[in-house]
Structures are given as structure tokens and as C-alpha cells.
Chain A
Amino acid sequence: MSDQPILEAKELTKAFGGILALNRVNFHVNEGEVLGIIGPNGSGKTTIVNCITGFIKPTSGKVFFRGKNITGKAAHRIADMGVTRTFQIMRPYYSLPAYKNLVIPLFSPRSKRTGGWRGGGKLGDRNTVGIDILEEIGFERDSRVPYKMAATLPTGYLKRLELARCLALKPEIILCDEVFSGLSMSEIASMVPLIERLQMDGITLIMIEHRLRELFRVADRIMVMNFGEKLTEGTSEEVMADSRVKEAYFGSEEIEEVMTYA
């Protein structure tokens, strides 16, 4: 692990008209780390993801990936460097079967260059590689699920499909925008080991979550946002102990619940 952080945001600011969605946010992620970002609704968590991945341009501030300035680059160029994201509202290709959804990222220049997930992008048959990835991410290979139209899949599978799309690109970082939200308890329970496995594969993760209990299980470090500003940062224990976090967060009930749990 090098001393340089893999991703660094400096004074990141985004204004929508007069509203400051992000106000001078500084943070960094080290290689192989899992950074959790929490905060009440509208605190600018998704805006961070959008600014980093180039889906919106920050008003000011800079984003560095491995020391290289990637601020304001086109979204597909940033994804091409290995900074991938999932969408909070899932964006699969609804008119295609699940495994065909992965043929598209496997066809991308990055997959062709790097070989994609486990070198599969260089193989001729992208359909089979797509199913390999789906099996790894929790689609049952011997069932009909990988062949089903994405439009007919339940939320749990679609969330996995979002992750699978990132994996097909052989990512260095995945920015997960609420992968747990909308899932049942048992679906989340099966998702957590998946996240841990990604971490073991050396993928850096930035996770935006409302499900604090599960997030605290997987995250190395937590950053708390409120009204577009960074409130605090630290391990889950430090963050939970912070009185400002309790104030900012809704009702402070869940925090206490989590504290007793942890």
C-alpha cells in the first residue's frame, strides 16, 4: 500500500443555483479501504459520487485519482480509468437479459485493454463471461435468473447487477450509492459477504448508506455529511460517539440502537 491515497477530493464544492449542495468537502480514500459516507437526506452524498465520477461538474475544487487530476473529465473517461459507480436508482438495460447487460461493459475499451473481470473481456465469448460474473455476484448459474429480462428482475438482483457492471470493468474503485437500500433483511445479509469479498480482491470501496448497522460492519472509516459539509470523520466508534452526529442525524434513535448493538 502506497502512502498516496488512491482518491482524494480537495475543497469540493457544487452549487445548484444558490444552493450549496457541497461546501468545501475534503476527504481521501486509501487503497483497499472501505470508506462509508453517511448523512441525512439531502446532505450531498450522491452529489459527491456524481462529482467524482464526472456525471456532474463540480463548481470548484479538485478530485485526484492516484495523484492525477480528474476534475471535470467526461464520465466515460473517468470510468475508463477504473473509477466506477453504481446508481442509487438502478439503471440496468431493461430490454436486455441480465447476462447481456454485462456484455456492454465487457465490450468497453477498458475491458478490452485490461481484460476486464478476471481477464474475461479478452475472451471471445462475452456472454459466458457475463454469466461467470453474475454467478460470482450471486445469480444462480443453473437457474433461469441470468437469462431473465432485467425488467422482470426483483430489486435485490438489480442491485447486484449494478455491482456486476462495475466488476466487468475491472474496477479500482467502486462508488456504491446505497446498494443496501430497498432490500429485505435477508437480501442485505447475503450482500454483506459480497462486499467483504470485493474488499479482499483489493477493490477500494466508497459506500453511501443509510443502513448504518451493516455499513459499520464493512467500513474501515466513516465520513458524516450534513447540509453539504463534512461534519466529522473517523472509525465507526468515534463517529458514533460524536454528539454533533447525533444532533444532525434523525432523532438520534437509530444511532443509539446501533451503539448498543456494536
Chain B
Amino acid sequence: MDTQQQRKERLDRGIKVRTDGLYALMGWQELGYLTLPRLILIVGMLALPLLMPGMYWQRVITIVCIYALLALSFDFLAHFVGLVSLGGAFFIGVGGYFSAIFNASFGIPPLFSIPMATVSGAIVCTLLLIPCLPLRGVYFAIVTLMYPLALARVIEATDILGGTDGIMGIDSFSNSWVEQYVAIVLVLLFLFGLRRLVNTDIGLVVRAVKDNDQAVRASGMSVNFYKAGAVFIASGIGCLGGACLVHIYMWAGISLFALDFSILPIAATVIGGSGTLVGPVLGCLILVPISELLRDFGTLRIVFYAILLVCFVVFRSEGLMVYGERKYHQFERWVKV
């Protein structure tokens, strides 16, 4: 019995290394190899506002972060849960309007109205999406695309929530530094939070739902329960972005349901590399500023933008991050591990 136990422990050491990442503690070189990319990302993101030349570009950074939140939520849903969602605009709109109502009508300061809007927005989005959870792939995408279009028209037609004028007089953040760092910290928080989540056992179940929902059902777990949970998380992230956005613009209107919020995160995910979670953030960091730079071209902006996207899809269809990760792991062979 004792030798058997010893044998088991010896053999299982392999699993520990594979699953717990213990090998990182074996030396400075390996530690650096693992933490350096993360450090570059964190420090780089935190330093961004300081490097920007003026107010205009600092605002761009904030918008990048809002889109990055959406892209994270898209990547999480699409790659880890298997639900392709075009609901970015839906989440932004719901979260934004909630925060606007909490702040403008009830006088709740942004510090509380944003988290409240996040939770209540996520609940509303999840409830509205629960009927379509059994749908997969493009069918789910169509339904999520329908909601923002419909909600915008409902607000326009019935003149509720300020109608086409929107809701005005919303508090802003106390200053532009707070605004930027709130957005940046939120992106980093959810980026690393989601990365951790998908590697826990519960995240594994969610990934299994994407891989093979029949087998999950045969394992005695409700597929729809886990899908609903994942949608709650993803829509929460989107609503958080929307809630921040209305406090940045100090205005909430039906342009919150604009399709940009649905499409750009997808483009960013394609460019950054889907399934990496870092990739979409990187994609937003590239796409949003480029779209700002191209403003000089006027109407031709969309043309250049489209050409750029096509180039990425054709020449780097796997995405920058996937490509970068592969190269980085090849680099590993140079270092003695």
C-alpha cells in the first residue's frame, strides 16, 4: 500500500507541474519568462495616459478601454462558451441607460451608480437572452443583434427615457485622470479575472459546454444554467462599459445602441487573436486609435479602415496575439529551462 502510494505521488508530480505552474518558482530566468509579458502589459497600460500628448488622446484611451471591455466579453462568450454574440451595443445601451437613470433621476453618485447599473443591467440582459440560450452559432448572434436595434426604436417611438434627446445632466468623473485610470484598471481587472476564471473547474465546465453540450448534459449538469451564468458575466462586463461611458459623455441617448459597439469588438478580436483574451484588448488598442488617426481622410476613413481589416484577416488571420505567443514560446528554447 505504501509503495503504491509512493508510486502514485511520483507519477502525479507531473500533473502538479502541468496544472499548477509550480515550475515558475525554479529560478529567476523562468520567473522572468513568465511574468515579463504580463508586466509589460500592466505597466504599459498604466503608463498610457501619461504618454498621451493631450486631452483629446487621453479621451481616446478611455474609449479604447470601453471597447476593450466589450471585446473581452465577446471573446469570452464566443471562444469559451460558444455563443457568438453581437450584443455589444445591447450591453452598452442597457448598462448606460441604467446608470443614467440611477444618476440623473435618483441622484446616486457615479461611484455607486456604475456598479448598480452593472448588476441590474446584467440581470436584465441575461433575462432577455435566456429564451435564446438553446440557440447556437449564428442564430444566437442574430437575436443579440436584434435587441439593440429594437430597443433603440422602442425608445425613439414611445419617447420614454428622454426619447431621441436622451438623458442629460449626468455627473462626470471628478477629473480626467480618475476617468482614465478607472477604465484602465477595470480592463486589467477583468482581463486577468477572466483568464483565471476559464482555468478554474467551473470555467472548465463552461468551456466543455462549447466543446460538447451533450456530454455536459450526460454528466448531470444543466447546460442552460452554465450558459446563463456565462452570459451574466459577459453582459455584466458590457454593461459596466456602458455605465462608464455615460459618465464620460455625461449623456445617455439612443446612440448607445449604435452598432459600432457590436462590430468593433469583433474586429478587434479577429486582429488580436480570439481565445487569448489579451488579444482583443490589444486589438482595441490598435483599432480605435487608427480609426481616430484616419479621421483626417474624411469619408475615405472607412475605406482605409476596411482595407486594413482585410489585410489583417488575409495575412494574419490567426491574430496578433496567437502569432506572438507562438513566437514567444519558440524563444523559450533559447533559454535553458
Q: Is B221 an interface residue (CB 8 A)?
A: yes
Cα of A200 to Cα of B201 in the assembled complex, Å? 31
Instruction: Specify which of B19, B207, B215 is in contact with A91 (CB 8 Å cutoff).
Output: B215
Cα of A168 to Cα of B205 in the assembled complex, Å? 14
Q: Is A128 an interface residue (CB 8 A)?
A: yes
Chain A count of residues within 8 A CB distance of the other chain: 38
By the criterion CB–CB under 8 Å, are B219 and A96 in contact?
Answer: no
B94 CB contacts on chain A under 8 angstroms: none
Name the prevailing secondary structure of the A interface residues: helix
By the criterion CB–CB under 8 Å, are A75 and B217 in contact?
Answer: yes
By the criterion CB–CB under 8 Å, are A105 and B220 in contact?
Answer: yes
By the criterion CB–CB under 8 Å, are A105 and B212 in contact?
Answer: no
B165 CB contacts on chain A under 8 angstroms: none
Q: How many A-B residue pairs have CB under 8 A?
A: 90
Chain B stretch 52-80: residues in CB contact (< 8 A) with chain A? none
Q: Is B208 an interface residue (CB 8 A)?
A: yes
Q: Would A127 and B15 be within 8 Å (CB), given that A92-B212, A93-B212, A95-B211 are in contact?
A: yes
Cα of A198 to Cα of B152 in the assembled complex, Å? 59
Name the prevailing secondary structure of the B interface residues: helix
A128 CB contacts on chain B under 8 angstroms: 12, 15
A84 CB contacts on chain B under 8 angstroms: 218, 220
By the criterion CB–CB under 8 Å, are B215 and A96 in contact?
Answer: no
B219 CB contacts on chain A under 8 angstroms: 76, 79, 104-105, 108, 165, 168-169
B19 CB contacts on chain A under 8 angstroms: 127
B217 CB contacts on chain A under 8 angstroms: 55, 74-76, 79
Contact with A along B202-232 (1 / 0, CB 8 A): 1011011001101111111111000000000
A221 CB contacts on chain B under 8 angstroms: none
Max count, chain B CB within 10 A of own CB: residue among A55, A79, A94, A166: A79
By the criterion CB–CB under 8 Å, are A85 and B204 in contact?
Answer: no
Cα of A165 to Cα of B19 in the assembled complex, Å? 20
By the criterion CB–CB under 8 Å, are A80 and B201 in contact?
Answer: no
Inter-chain pairs besides A104-B208, A105-B220, 19 sampled, C-beta below 8 Å: A53-B218, A75-B218, A76-B222, A77-B220, A79-B218, A87-B214, A92-B212, A93-B212, A93-B215, A94-B211, A96-B208, A96-B211, A99-B15, A104-B204, A104-B219, A111-B220, A128-B15, A131-B15, A141-B11
List 3 A-B pairs, minimum CB-CB distance, nearest first. Answer: A79-B220, A105-B219, A80-B220
